[in-house]
A and B are shown apart, each in its own frame.
Chain A
Amino acid sequence: DADVTQTPRNRITKTGKRIMLECSQTKGHDRMYWYRQDPGLGLRLIYYSFDVKDINKGEISDGYSVSRQAQAKFSLSLESAIPNQTALYFCATSDWGGLVSDEQFFGPGTRLTVL
């Protein structure tokens, strides 16, 4: 079984709809992240969480919210989806390597299309 899973894998929705993307991990990591990927732009950080009680905004948090329901679960919500939120969304986890995070483990991604 995959260590980091994302649901759904694909989603098509309409402008204005509320969408939730879910991420679960079995790696036992405290740190979890949500990224979006657009062609030619690499990955951009939306939100991150260093533990259940710690939620932080990333580079592009506007229009998004998150919930860390448990150590293993981190959900991303689009409150009112708009077409420019069409992208590939990745969840990732990492361990705490002292002063800095170690390697990140990525889920398979969710392809979201907002019409």
Chain B
Amino acid sequence: SQQGEEDPQALSIQEGENATMNCSYKTSINNLQWYRQNSGRGLVHLILIRSNEREKHSGRLRVTLDTSKKSSSLLITASRAADTASYFCATGPMDNYGQNFVFGPGTRLSVLP
């Protein structure tokens, strides 16, 4: 199965509400990244958190990382219709030389006006 798996698979909220997505992984990681994908388009990097960090902010985004539970969460505050997209976590393994990121299947977020 995937190294990173997002939860929930789909999320529908009203504009202005907060959206929380979770990512769980199996093996030790060096870093974890979150990406956004608008329908049918390329992925856009949102934020990277390293294994020695617990929380990181970028604008309306807040990412947490709990290495003991092998999980991360992405919080989008005050959501907007433009936040409607799929969100993916990607894990960079600890023994990474020669290896690469593994993407989860994604969470589809719908923000209703």
Taking beta carbons and an 8 Å cutoff, which residues of A are in contact with B? 4, 33, 35, 40-45, 48, 50, 56, 58, 88, 90, 92, 99-109, 111
Contacts and interface: CB of A to CB of B under 8 A. Distances in A.
17 contacts: A41-B105, A42-B2, A42-B88, A42-B103, A43-B103, A44-B103, A48-B100, A90-B42, A100-B31, A103-B33, A103-B45, A103-B48, A104-B45, A104-B101, A105-B45, A106-B43, A109-B40
A4 B48 CA distance: 20
B113 interface: no
Interface of B: 2, 30-31, 33, 35, 40-45, 48, 88, 90, 92, 96-98, 100-106
Given A100-B31, A100-B96, A101-B92, A42 B44 contact: no
> Chain A interface secondary structure, helix, strand, loop or mixed?
strand
A88 to B, nearest CB: 7
Contacts of A33: 100
